[in-house]
């Protein structure tokens, strides 16, 4: 199996993390977005949407969309629950991540960390910060009474949300305002097989 990605991208790190937790062997192929790798003819032949991560399975199927790939990789493991309601709850959090969390937190991080806060994106940054804090508030509320996002164990819902939440301070978010999130981050970091973004 091959994974094309950049580990400092949370979307790609999700896959690095599930592979580490489940000891899934794979070849990691580094892709540099800033150098325009995702716009090359070869890459667009793989993913016409021009985005990482991309996973090429042992059978040669090309998979895109980080949360869909998590679903593929977690089949048969404890990270994908058996129960229909719990499965639906996992999907709820993953759709929340893609619509309400990642677009604000990941983009705020990109503007601040990668682009160094250019003048023409300052207003947008403030809007993303506000939306990101709202998303973190919703997570905090849930995690005040729950150890993980769904049920008593870590699932791919947690992996999806962990990816950009734990690096939210790089985007200017103060995680110390969210003690339940900080405890949840520590619980994930303590999992057997956990690997950090830089690891």
- Contact, 7 vs 197, CB < 8 A? yes
- The rounded distance, in Å, linking the Cα atoms of 19 and 195 is 9
Q: Find the part of the chain contacting ligand GSH (CB under 6 A) among 17-25, 51-59, 170-178, 183-191.
A: 51-59
- The rounded distance, in Å, linking the Cα atoms of 64 and 59 is 15
Cis ω before 53 (30° cut-off from 0): yes
**Residue the block writes with tokens 């819902």:** 157
Tell me how many residues contact ligand GSH (CB under 6 A): 12
Closest CB 15 distance from ligand GSH, rounded Å: 9
- The rounded distance, in Å, linking the Cα atoms of 164 and 182 is 13
DSSP character at residue 48: T
Is 50 a binding residue for ligand GSH by CB under 6 A? The answer is yes
Is 52 a binding residue for ligand GSH by CB under 6 A? The answer is yes
Which tokens go with 170? 């790089």
- For ligand GSH, the closer of residues 29 and 85 by Cβ is 29
- The rounded distance, in Å, linking the Cα atoms of 153 and 83 is 13
Is 65 a binding residue for ligand GSH by CB under 6 A? The answer is yes
Is 94 a binding residue for ligand GSH by CB under 6 A? The answer is no
- For ligand GSH, the closer of residues 9 and 165 by Cβ is 9
- The rounded distance, in Å, linking the Cα atoms of 135 and 144 is 14
- The site map against ligand GSH for 8-47 (x = CB under 6 A) is -x-x---------------------x----x---------
Residue among 194, 199, 197, 198 at smallest CA distance from 19: 194
Closest CB 8 distance from ligand GSH, rounded Å: 9
- For ligand GSH, the closer of residues 65 and 158 by Cβ is 65
Half-sphere exposure of 12 (CA within 13 A, CB side): 20
Is 66 a binding residue for ligand GSH by CB under 6 A? The answer is yes
Is 155 a binding residue for ligand GSH by CB under 6 A? The answer is no
- For ligand GSH, the closer of residues 110 and 148 by Cβ is 110
Closest CB 182 distance from ligand GSH, rounded Å: 24
- The rounded distance, in Å, linking the Cα atoms of 193 and 190 is 9
Residues that bind ligand GSH (CB under 6 A): 9, 11, 33, 38, 50-53, 65-67, 98
């Amino acid at each position: 199996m091959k994974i094309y990605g950049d580990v400092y991208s949370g979307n790609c790190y999700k896959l690095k993390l599930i592979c580490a937790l489940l000891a899934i062997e794979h070849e990691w192929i580094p892709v540099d977005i800033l150098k325009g790798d995702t716009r090359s003819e070869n890459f667009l032949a793989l993913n016409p949407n021009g985005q990482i991560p991309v996973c090429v399975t042992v059978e040669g199927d090309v998979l895109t969309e980080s949360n869909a790939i998590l679903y593929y990789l977690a089949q048969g493991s404890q990270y994908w629950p058996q129960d229909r309601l719990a499965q639906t709850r996992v999907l709820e959090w993953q759709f929340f991540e893609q619509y309400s969390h990642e677009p604000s937190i990941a983009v705020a991080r990109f503007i601040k960390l990668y682009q160094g806060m250019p003048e023409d994106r300052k207003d947008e940054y403030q809007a993303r910060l506000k939306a990101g804090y709202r998303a973190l508030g919703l997570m905090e509320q849930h995690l005040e009474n729950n150890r993980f996002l769904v049920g008593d164990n870590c699932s791919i819902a947690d992996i999806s949300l962990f990816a950009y939440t734990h690096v939210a301070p790089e985007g200017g978010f103060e995680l110390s305002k969210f003690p339940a999130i900080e405890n949840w981050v520590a619980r994930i970091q303590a999992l057997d097989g956990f690997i950090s973004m830089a690891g």
